[in-house]
């Protein structure tokens, strides 16, 4: 289950997202908005996978296309608004999934077997009701106590993955509050009975959301630190470390890319 850095992470959100966001209660104010630095090697380096063996390297499907002529953002669109870092933004479970999980597991949680496993089965197994329903469809009976025990064990395994990752899955950088918000959406995505009424939301800072993006997306390919490759080294497959990107890319260029991503996702 190696990280897949390709088009599934950019596919527009489907009906299940719309359902999830329409069933939310009052968002909880996150008490842990601390932001920590990115550290260590990228995930593809951790897995000893060269860039050309990743989905992006094989397909060169690098996300949004270049802007059309005349589609450049106005200068005022490229400026950060005053106090942006202190702004509180509402995050739904679907947002946390999109920021941390969807790039690999896809919008419907089906993954990309055999490289990336589906999340549907493991999440269904955390519900005694879902397990009993599946067993009934298979023509087998299971007692409620056995289903509860299996669900408890499966929930423990799911929480372990969300805290520490796996052999081929990087550890998500999620707080306890974020995990509590994400799990009901995983249940909804997996068709767990009664999941719709359990959807929650929380409010976090813009900095914290930026941390999700960098650690769950950028750090998959980019090491935290390292030398700045020259153009020929980049053509040969070298990936600039995050520590050098601020010297390679201006704030306006960052804003332009983000605007293109937002437009792409809205189509």
| pLDDT by 10s per residue, the chain, length 267 | 334 333 333 333 333 333 344 444 567 776 666 788 899 999 999 988 887 777 667 766 555 555 566 655 444 455 566 666 667 889 999 999 998 998 888 889 998 877 788 999 999 999 999 999 889 888 888 899 999 999 999 999 999 999 999 888 888 889 999 999 999 999 999 999 999 999 999 999 888 988 998 898 889 889 999 999 988 888 888 889 999 988 887 777 777 766 666 665 455
Write down the pLDDT at residue 202.
Answer: 93
The reported pTM is 0.75
Q: What are phi and psi of 92, to 5 degrees?
A: -95, 170
Pairing of strands 28-29, 201-205: parallel
Nearest to 131 by CA among 187, 60, 65, 178: 187
CB count within 10 Å of CB 59 equals 11
Write down the pLDDT at residue 34.
Answer: 78
């Amino acid at each position: 289950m190696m990280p897949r850095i390709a088009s599934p992470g950019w596919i527009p959100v489907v009906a299940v997202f719309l359902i999830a966001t329409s069933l939310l209660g009052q968002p909880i104010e996150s008490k842990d908005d601390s932001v920590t630095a990115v550290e260590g090697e990228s995930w593809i380096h951790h897995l000893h996978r060269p860039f050309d063996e990743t989905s992006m390297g094989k397909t060169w499907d690098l996300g949004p296309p270049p802007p059309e002529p005349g589609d450049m953002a106005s200068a005022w669109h490229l400026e950060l608004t005053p106090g942006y870092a202190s702004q509180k933004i509402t995050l739904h479970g679907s947002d946390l999934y999109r920021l941390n999980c969807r790039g690999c597991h896809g919008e419907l949680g089906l993954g990309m077997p055999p490289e990336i496993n589906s999340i549907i089965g493991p999440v269904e197994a955390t519900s005694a009701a879902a397990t009993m329903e599946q067993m009934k469809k298979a023509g087998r009976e299971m007692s409620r106590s056995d289903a509860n025990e299996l669900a408890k064990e499966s929930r423990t395994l799911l929480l372990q993955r969300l805290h520490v990752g796996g052999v081929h899955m990087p550890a998500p950088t999620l707080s306890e509050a974020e995990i509590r918000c994400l799990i009901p959406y995983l249940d909804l995505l997996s068709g767990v009975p009664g999941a719709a009424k359990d959807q929650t939301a929380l409010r976090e800072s813009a900095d914290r959301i930026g941390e999700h993006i960098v650690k769950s997306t950028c750090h998959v390919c980019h090491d935290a630190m390292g030398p700045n490759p020259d153009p020929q080294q980049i053509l040969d497959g070298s990936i600039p470390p995050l520590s050098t990107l601020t010297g390679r890319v201006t704030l306006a260029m960052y804003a332009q890319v983000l605007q293109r991503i937002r437009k792409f996702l809205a189509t």
